[in-house]
Amino acid sequence: GFNIYSDGTKRVVSNGEATKTMKTEWTGVKTRTFIRIGGQATSGTRHLFGHLRNLRLWHKELTDAQMGESIK
């Protein structure tokens, strides 16, 4: 999982381990849109190789502690 913060940083969580926050240019979705996971862009490049398991989506922002709990 990942968190995108309003100060322009992000934190990635994988297998219950969170990275340190790091700078990102992504600022989040500003208008209603689709989130694409995998697939192929119009240029022909692919977004995801392999398999995706245990995908979870939340309708609210989770704290860092909740992210760690929900991944384990």
Please write the tens of the pLDDT for every residue from 1-49: 777 777 878 888 777 778 888 888 776 666 666 666 767 777 777 766 6
Say whether pLDDT at 58 is over 60: yes
Say whether pLDDT at 70 is over 70: no
Q: What is the pTM of this model?
A: 0.39
Identify the CA nearest to 71 among candidates 28, 62, 4.
Answer: 62
β-strand pairing of 22-23 with 2-4:
unpaired
pLDDT computed for residue 31 by the predictor: 64
pLDDT computed for residue 53 by the predictor: 76
